[in-house]
């Protein structure tokens, strides 16, 4: 075939050997070529290699319309948008066509009449794959006119045509998506009567506008997304419509910390300055992901609503920004993130979880701190012995020296903006803490990160008391008296 730029008329297109094919055949053919070449079909989509992606590929090979069904933040829209990579780089259309008419197989009256008039001299232009993607967010106010079309009375008056004439129709999004990929997000939010209007479009290609039928053999690949919770909250997908969507594919959240980290690190928007100056230890990266895993099992969080991957992305960004802010305030050139920086992560959590009644009673911030605490507990046990399983008198308590130091009335104050040197000095004064961490053979650069983890971990097992007082975390023995300051009347234990 000639270069697309050289083909400008229907006659040239015929001589090039071009043959029309449906968008579903196009997707199928290009997918087959990618699979044969062992190319990655959905780059940047992690955790779906053995589940969702094979189902999507099977649906495309079967020429199916697709419903991606899953909770919030499960990459449904991203998968839909990446399908444009399976379209041809460009396709020929009748120049000026409202419905992307194929010059060799026009469907609109306007294109047919133009071809009848000009024959092989009919002008042809090329439509890129990026321009063949149409997306619509379903909302309750979406009308049939928006999706299918309506009669334009002004056009009818100007052309002196009856309303039953095709030429007076103002076409909606679906007819304009002829030979395209059409995505409707949050399908259950469409009113039932609007969903009904999709029946014949999906099955037979018929459209009914203002009482008269318009037969258009539309060629559209439909992809719908929906959240299962919508079936009971805001609306539902009516059964006859679900019956016409050939493949329903369930998405899911990452099933491992490693996959979650890949998603977070790929999606987190950090500046070049943050990349250069902020170091986030591997353990803290795992802790960020563990918060989401904890939330998905929490009794305070509505599991039907789900916990989006956007939680960990926003949490990681806030963690880096909290560390960066401390660095700027202390005029330091670089900084390492700390567990105390997770106080700045709370706003990234509170807006990302839907709570049940018990969670609402606790309060959003308290639930966020609880989730962080439970995540700390889980990560702590990955590196250190479980304090609750140490049998008294039968084995040496690795935390004995640390607990004795706190029992003597000593305390540790970890200010959120504490400079690195003073932060290390504050941890160094705890008897037995550094020795415990060094015995685990961590990297030298990680020693103080794990020393801090020990304090937070022991507080989660009620071996220490941890309180947030204005701008600092205070660790002390449970039996130690009040600080002796009248301002401490509002002290409260956020994790116990």
Whether residues 83 and 198 fall in one domain? yes
Of 303, 317, 302, the C-alpha closest to 348 is 317
374 and 397 belong to one structural domain? no
Residue 486: per-residue pLDDT:
41
Token pair listed for 366:
């308290």
* β-bridge pairing 412-415 and 472-476: antiparallel
Give the model's pLDDT for residue 351. 85
What's the CA gap between 22 and 4, in Å, rounded?
19
Q: What is the pTM of this model?
A: 0.86
Residues 383 and 380: their CA atoms lie apart, in Å, by: 6
458 and 411 co-located in one domain:
yes
Contacts 24+ apart (CB under 8 A), 279-282: 279/334, 279/335, 279/336, 279/337, 280/316, 280/319, 280/320, 280/323, 280/336, 280/337, 281/336, 281/337, 281/446, 281/449
453/349 same-domain check = no
pLDDT computed for residue 396 by the predictor:
82
Tell me, yes or no, whether 187 and 267 share the same domain.
no
pLDDT, position 43: 95
- Point out which residues pair with 185 in neighbouring strands: 137
Q: How many domains does the chain have?
A: 3
Last residue of a domain, one of 195, 219, 250: 250
Domain span at residue 225? 4-250
Last residue of a domain, one of 382, 413, 443: 382
What's the longest Cα–Cα distance across the chain? 100
pLDDT along the chain (496 residues), means of 10: 74 92 96 97 95 97 96 94 96 94 92 94 95 93 84 69 68 91 93 86 68 76 86 71 93 95 95 96 97 95 89 96 96 96 94 89 93 96 90 75 94 94 96 94 93 96 89 86 43 36
DSSP 8-state class, residue 268: -
DSSP 135: E
Considering the domain architecture, whether residues 95 and 62 belong to the same structural domain is answered as yes
Clarify whether residues 192 and 339 are in a common domain.
no
Helix (H) or strand (E) holding 467: strand 465-469
Residue that is last in its domain, among 227, 250, 273: 250
Same domain, 56 and 168: yes
- Enter the tokens of residue 340: 């105390």
What residue spans of 37-108 are helical by DSSP H?
52-61, 76-82
CATH number of the domain bearing residue 311: 1.10.8.80
Say if CB 164 and CB 212 are below 8 A apart.
yes
Distance CA 269, CA 271 (A): 7
**266 & 218 share domain:** no
| Residue 178 phi, psi (nearest 5) | -55, 130
* Phi, psi at 93, each rounded to 5°: -135, 155
Same domain, 349 and 489: no
Residue 236, pLDDT score: 84
166 and 178 fall within a common domain: yes
Same domain for 370 and 351? yes
Q: What is the pLDDT of residue 348?
A: 94
Is residue 260 within 8 A of residue 312, CB to CB? The reply is: yes
């Amino acid at each position: 075939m000639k270069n697309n730029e050289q083909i400008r008329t229907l006659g040239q297109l015929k001589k090039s050997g071009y043959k029309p094919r449906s968008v579903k055949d196009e997707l199928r053919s290009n997918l087959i070529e990618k699979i044969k070449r062992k190319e990655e079909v959905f780059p940047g989509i992690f955790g779906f290699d053995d589940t969702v992606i094979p189902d999507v590929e099977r649906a495309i090979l079967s020429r199916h319309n697709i419903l991606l069904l899953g909770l919030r933040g499960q990459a449904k829209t991203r998968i839909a948008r990446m399908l444009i990579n399976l379209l041809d780089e460009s396709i020929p259309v009748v120049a000026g066509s409202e419905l992307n008419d194929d010059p060799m197989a026009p469907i609109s009256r306007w294109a047919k009449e133009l071809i009848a008039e000009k024959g092989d001299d009919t002008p042809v232009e090329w439509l890129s794959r990026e321009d063949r993607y149409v997306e619509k967010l379903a909302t309750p106010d979406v009308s049939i006119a928006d999706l299918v079309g309506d009669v334009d009375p002004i056009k009818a008056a100007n052309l002196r045509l009856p309303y039953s004439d095709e030429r007076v129709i103002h076409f909606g999004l679906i007819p304009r998506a002829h030979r395209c990929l059409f995505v409707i997000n949050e399908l259950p939010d469409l009113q039932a009567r609007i969903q009904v209007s999709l029946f014949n479009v999906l099955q037979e290609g018929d459209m009914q506008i203002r009482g008269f039928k318009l037969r258009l053999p539309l060629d559209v690949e439909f992809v719908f997304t929906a959240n299962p919770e919508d079936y009971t909250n805001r609306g539902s997908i009516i059964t006859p419509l679900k019956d016409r969507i050939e493949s329903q594919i369930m998405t899911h959240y990452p099933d491992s910390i490693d996959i979650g980290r890949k998603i977070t690190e790929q999606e987190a928007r950090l500046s070049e300055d943050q990349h250069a100056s902020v170091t986030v230890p591997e353990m803290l990266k795992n802790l960020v992901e563990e918060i989401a895993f904890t939330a998905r099992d929490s009794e305070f969080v509505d599991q039907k609503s789900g916990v989006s991957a956007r939680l960990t992305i926003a949490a990681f960004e806030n963690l880096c920004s909290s560390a960066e802010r401390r660095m700027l305030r202390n005029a330091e050139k670089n900084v390492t993130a700390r567990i105390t920086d997770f106080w700045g992560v709370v706003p990234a959590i509170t807006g990302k979880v839907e709570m049940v009644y018990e969670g609402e009673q606790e309060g959003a911030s308290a639930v966020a701190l609880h989730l962080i605490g439970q995540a700390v507990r889980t990560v702590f046990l990955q590196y250190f012995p479980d304090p609750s399983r140490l049998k008294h008198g039968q084995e040496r308590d690795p935390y004995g020296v640390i607990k004795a130091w706190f029992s003597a009335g000593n305390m540790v104050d970890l200010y959120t903006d504490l400079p690195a040197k003073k932060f290390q000095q504050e941890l160094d004064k705890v008897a037995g803490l550094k020795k415990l961490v060094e015995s685990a053979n961590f990297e030298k650069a990680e020693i103080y990160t794990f020393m801090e983890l020990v304090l937070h971990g022991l507080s989660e097992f009620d071996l220490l008391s941890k309180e947030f007082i204005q701008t600092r975390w205070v660790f002390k023995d449970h039996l130690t008296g009040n600080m002796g300051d009248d301002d401490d009347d509002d002290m409260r234990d956020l994790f116990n």
